[in-house]
Amino acid sequence: MQLNNLIEAMEKGMKKRDLSDNYLRTDGCPTREEIGIGEYAYGITMVPCEWVYPFLIELKNRRIDENSELLIKKMQSMEQYTIDGGTEKLKFVDNEKLAHRPLTIKEKFRKLYGINESVKCGDCKHCIRVNTNNKNYYKCEVMGITSSAATDIRLKDYGCSEYREGNKSI
Ligand code: SF4
């Protein structure tokens, strides 16, 4: 099974079948903290998924990084014709600079928590609305709340591995 399909199947399963630790605790069943990887209990997919899912997301992100690096290298080796019939290196954005610029807050956050395409930030309980000068902005509690646009998120942004169902303020 392709990595993306595996992640997607896991996300669907987790969303549809997983029970929260609170529910399990109330029901006297073992929770995520008590059960190790590979063991199954009432609570179903959640125990192994809770352990494996972040690693799959990390693997997916590493592949994306590797592919981006390969693409940048390929573009750097390409040439274009000049007016006088000669050739020169392709002029794009400064790929070297681009590859080595510091990551933005959002990029760092996504590197850590990945992308969960089956959910949206607008449905997550970590997404909060901030009203400034009669304008609504959306922020993620996990990413951090600052007055800078660098930490703005959109309701339709894909979620991440920290996604928790149940928006509380929107
Ligand atoms: S899904 Fe992730 S990025 Fe979006 S609001 Fe929730 S915790 Fe923040």
C-alpha to C-alpha distances, 97 to 76, 94, 105, nearest whole angstrom: 12, 5, 18
Pocket of ligand 1 (CB under 6 A): 121, 124, 126-127, 140, 142-143, 159-160, 162-163
- Per-residue pLDDT tens, the chain, 170 aa: give them: 588 888 888 888 888 877 888 888 887 877 777 766 655 555 555 556 777 788 888 888 888 878 777 777 777 777 777 778 788 877 665 666 667 778 889 988 998 899 998 999 999 999 999 998 899 999 999 999 998 999 999 999 999 999 999 876 66
User: Probe ligand 1: pick from 126, 152, 155, 165, max atoms within 8 Å of CB?
Assistant: 126
- Any idea where the domains of the chain sit in the sequence? 1-93, 102-170
Instruction: Report the phi/psi class of residue 134: left, alpha or beta, with left for phi > 0 and alpha for psi in -120 to 50.
Output: left
- Contact at 8 Å (CB) between 75 and 69? no
Residue with tokens 């959910």: 119
- Contact at 8 Å (CB) between 52 and 37? yes
Angle between helix axes 105-113 and 46-77 (nearest 10 degrees) is 130
Report how far residue 68's alpha carbon sits from residue 91's, in angstroms, rounded to the nearest whole number: 18
97 contact partners, CB below 8 Å, separation of at least 6: none
Q: The pTM is what? A: 0.47
